[in-house]
Amino acid sequence: MKKFNMFLIAASVAVASFGFSGIAAADDDFYLRHGNGRCRHESRCEAKISPADAKRIAFNHAGVDTKDVRMESFELDWDDGWLKYELEFDVGFTEYEYDIDAESGKILKAKRDRF
């Protein structure tokens, strides 16, 4: 009986700890900083720049011509409170990856690899 009671106490502490950390994480996700490309909740976020604008920003930064681009992936994504366009494209033997802030058009990530 004593072992069973200790098990119940340990289980209760574990569940309570997990529950509180889960609430805190959910709370952080919901109440994200507003402004600078961040929204209070994913469902309330809207892209301020168009998909065409995001592509233009990335292509101009990379110094490539649109007709030479082979698009690998393009999506509007919600990531850690940021609404951003994620682009991956190839030109010749070079692969490019960009993250573009969907509110401001600011380049959040720019990566180039030769293959």
Q: Going from the N-terminus, what domains does the chain have, and what CATH number goes with each? A: 32-114 (3.10.450.40)
> Is the pLDDT at 36 greater than 70, yes or no?
no
pLDDT tier for residue 25 given thresholds of 50, 70 and 90: very low
Q: What is the mean pLDDT of the chain?
A: 76
From CA 40, how far away is CA 17, in angstroms rounded?
26
Looking from the CA of 107 toward its CB, the CA atoms found within 13 Å total 15
pTM: 0.64
From edge to edge, which strands make up the β-sheet containing 107-114? 70-79, 82-91, 94-101, 107-114
Q: Is the pLDDT of residue 115 over 90?
A: no
Q: Percent of the chain beyond pLDDT 70?
A: 62
Mean pLDDT of 83-102: 97
